[in-house]
Chains A and B, each alone.
Chain A
Amino acid sequence: MFFHVNLERNITLEPRHFGARMRAVLEEKLRHEVEGTCSGRYGFIVMVTRVDDVSEGVVVDDGTARAKFHVKYDCVVFRPFKGEVVDAVVTQVNKFGFFAEAGPLQLFVSNALITEDMQFDSSGENCYVSDDQQIRIQRDASVRVRIVGMRIDANDIFCIATIKDDYLGLIDFGSGGL
C-alpha cells in the first residue's frame, strides 16, 4: 500500500556546496540518499515529493568544515501488509516456487501456495503450467498475489505470497508468453 508521509533526516554537505545552489544540492542529495531505501517501519521510499523545511546548517565539529542540515520532507512510501493483494512480475521460477517483484519488493510464492492444477515444468524454460496448458507462469509474467507473511528487517522487506485464492494468479503472460 502506498502512503504519503512526512519524514525527517539529517543531511551533511561539503563546504564547496555552500553557495547559491546550496538548496538545490541539498534536495538532490536528500533524494539520492533516501529514494529507493527501505525501512522496516515505512517500507520503501518511492519518491520525495516536497522538501518542506530545512534547518539552519550547523558546521560539524570535526575539522572537516562540513555542515549538517535537518530536513523535513514529504514522500511516497510503499509499505506492504499481510493480507494485501499486489500485482507483481515473475523474476525466477524453480521447483520450489517462484519469485516475483512488486516494484522494489521481493515476493516468493512457494509451490504449496500455487493452485493444485498447476505443475512445475522444466522441459523448456522453468514454469508452472496448468493441467489444461492454458495458463503458464514463467519469467516476466504478471501475477496477482496475496501477501501471507513478511520478514521485516531494518532495511529490507521480503514477503511470502499465495496465488491459491479466487482471482489470484496469472494476469498477463508477459513478453515471452503465448
Chain B
Amino acid sequence: MPASASGSDDDVESSDDELASALEAELFANDDAEVKDVAKANAGDGDSETKRAREGGALPRVVRRKAFRVDDARGRGDEGTCAHPAFMFEICVVCGERKRDDGGGSKGEMRSGSGEEALRGHFTTSMRYIHEGLTLSNAELEKAKREEKERVLKDGKLTLILDLDHTLLNSAQFKELTQEQHDLLHQCIAQEANGLAERERPMLYCLRHMGFFTKLRPHVFEFLEEVSQICQPYVYTMGDKAYAKEMVKLIDPEGKIFHGRVISNNDSTSSHVKDLDIVLGGETSAVIVDDTERVWPANHGNLIRLDRYHFFPSSAASFQQKGQSVMERSMVDEGELGSMGARAVLLDVLAVIQSAHRSYFKHASIEEPDVRTLLVKPDRIDLPLSGVKFVMSGVTPLSDRNPERHPLRLLASTLGAEFVSSIERDGDSVTHVIARSSGTDKVKWAKKTGGRVLIVEPSWLVACAQANTRVSESLYPIET
C-alpha cells in the first residue's frame, strides 16, 4: 500500500471494544437503562441541563403536549407487524427494520405483483427524485398517487408532465458548433443583454461550466406561468440529474413552478422510456407534453406531441432536419413571422391545456372525467366547436406519422370539433378546412363548394379556445 494513503485504514481497534456491544446489550435488556452509570463521562451534560431548563418553562416558546392518537398507528398492522410501507436508505420508515434483499423489484415485477398485495413490501419502487434514499412499497405508492391526485384536483389543477429538450428548450455542446457559430452566439447573447427590459429574462445562455449553449423556446416563461395556474407541473427528462437541475434553473429561476418535481434519467424506473409510474398523480388527470412519442409507450393517450424545437444546426442535423434550425434560417424564431413562419408552438400547447382543463372541471362534480378522452373525443354537445367537422391541410408536417397527437389537432378536438380524414369519402359532412396557405388541393376543393365549407387559419382554433366560444371565421382568413 502506498504511504500516500495517509493511514485512512489505519484505525486501530481500541482495547475497550466491548464497550459498544456491552452498552447495546444493556440498553436493549431493560428499557429504562441505567445509562448514566455506563457512560464514562457525559459530554452532553451541559446540553441536558438546558433541556431541563426549557422543559421547566424557562423558555416560553417550548411546545409541550401529549401525543394525539387515533386507535391504530398508520402503517402498522393489527398484530403489531409492520407493513413496511416505505424505506429510507433501506430501512423501514415505520419500524426501523432493515429492508430484505428480495424486495428490489423492478417496474415489471411491480406491475405483475399488483394482485399479491399480501406479500407485503415485496414490490417496491425507488422515488429518487423526491429523495435519494426513498423507496416506496407498491401499496404505499398507489396510496400516495391517489392522495396527491385528489389533493391536486381539489386545488382545481391537472397534473402536467413536461419534457425539456426540443420541447421547452434546445441545447448544443460547444464542440458541435463551429468557431463562427460560437462568435455569432456570443454576439447574440451580448445583444440580447443590451435589449432586455427590466425583469425580462434572457432566452439564450452560454453555460461554460457545462460546456454548452442553451436556447429557451419562445414564450416559455409565459407558458410556464400560465400552466402553473391550472396544473401541477413536473419536468421529466432523459437527461441526467445535473443537466436537468441546470435547465430548471433557467426556466424556473425563482423555483416557484416545479418545487423539486424534476425527474431525470437517474430517477426513472427505466432508462429508455418514460412512465407515469413515479409521477404522483392519476393517469386520468395527467397531460404530457413531449416532442418524442415513442418514449411514452404506456401513456400515449395523455400525450400532446409538439414539433421539435431546433435552434442549433447540430440539433436539427441529428434529427435529419438539416437546415431547419433557427440559426440556419437567419435567426427567425418561432412565431416571429406571424402566419407566414413557424407558429409559436408553446402558445398552441397552452391553448390545448387550457381547453382540456376547462372541459375537465366543467363536469368534474357529476362524473369522473378522463383527460385522455377529453383530448381526442370529448363526446359532449356543449363545447365551443361542437358540430364542426374539419379537415386539415398543411398544418401538421407530412413526415408526421401520428398527426393525431399534434397540438392543433388536439386543440380542435378538445373544443368539440370532429376530424374528418378524407374529403373523397366524407366530403359532404365537412364544414371547415383548416389550412396554412391557399393553393392546396383541399383549399381549392373548399372554394368550389360556394361557401358551404369555410376556410380558416389555425389561429382561429386558438382564438376559439381563448374566448371559449366559436369565434367568427371571417376574422381568420388564410394568406392568399
Contact = CB atoms under 8 A, between A and B. Distances in A.
B424 interface: no
3 closest A-B pairs by beta carbon, nearest first, are A149-B96, A110-B93, A10-B10
B20 interface: yes
Main secondary structure of the interface of B (DSSP, over half): loop
Contacts of A160: 88, 91-94, 96
Interface string B28-51: 100100010001111110000001
A25 interface: no
A164 B67 contact: yes
Query: Size band of the B side of the interface?
Result: 35 or more
Contacts of A95: 130, 144, 148, 280
Interface in A65-122: 66, 68, 70, 76, 79, 81-83, 87, 92, 94-97, 99, 108, 110-113, 115-118, 122
A10 B134 CA distance: 38
Contact of B63 (A83, A135, A148): A135
Nearest to B72: A116
Given A110-B86, A160-B91, A1 B131 contact: no
A94 B98 CA distance: 22
Nearest to B136: A96
B43 A76 contact: yes
A151 B20 contact: no
A68 B7 contact: yes
A54 interface: no
Interface string B4-29: 10111011111111011001100110
Interface in B156-206: none
Nearest to A111: B74
A166 interface: yes
Interface of A: 1-12, 33, 39, 41-42, 46-47, 60, 62, 64, 66, 68, 70, 76, 79, 81-83, 87, 92, 94-97, 99, 108, 110-113, 115-118, 122, 130, 134-135, 147-151, 158, 160, 163-173, 177
B110 interface: no
Nearest to B19: A5
Contacts of A66: 3
Contacts of B90: 151
A151 B67 contact: no
Given A149-B92, A172-B61, A60 B70 contact: no
Contacts of B134: 96
User: Which residue, A33, A47, A68, A116, has most C-beta atoms of chain B within 10 A?
Assistant: A116
Contacts of B425: none
Contact of B89 (A70, A83, A158): A158
Contacts of A68: 7, 10
Interface in B48-88: 51, 54, 59, 61-70, 73-76, 85-86, 88
Interface of B: 2-4, 6-8, 10-17, 19-20, 23-24, 27-28, 31, 35, 39-44, 51, 54, 59, 61-70, 73-76, 85-86, 88-98, 127, 130-131, 133-134, 136, 144, 148, 259, 280
A64 B10 CA distance: 18
A1 B75 contact: no
Given A94-B130, A115-B67, A164-B67, A3 B93 contact: no
B3 A12 contact: yes
9 contacts: A2-B42, A6-B15, A62-B3, A108-B93, A112-B94, A113-B94, A148-B95, A160-B92, A169-B63
Nearest to A49: B43
Contacts of B148: 95
A79 B28 contact: no
Contact of B64 (A130, A147, A167): A167
Contacts of B63: 134-135, 169-172
B67 A168 contact: yes
A10 B74 CA distance: 49
Nearest to A86: B44
A97 B70 contact: no
B73 A112 contact: yes
Contact of B12 (A70, A81, A151): A70
A149 B91 contact: yes
A46 B93 contact: no
B73 A164 contact: yes
A108 B61 CA distance: 24
Contact of A41 (B20, B43, B67): B20
Contacts of A112: 73-76, 85-86, 93-94
B128 to A, nearest CB: 13
A116 B98 contact: no
B279 to A, nearest CB: 13
Nearest to B89: A158
A107 B336 CA distance: 53
A59 to B, nearest CB: 10
B10 to A, nearest CB: 4
Contact of B68 (A11, A97, A115): A115
A41 B97 CA distance: 19
Given A60-B3, A149-B95, 14 more contacts: A3-B19, A3-B41, A3-B43, A4-B39, A6-B15, A41-B17, A81-B27, A130-B68, A148-B96, A151-B89, A158-B133, A160-B94, A163-B67, A168-B67
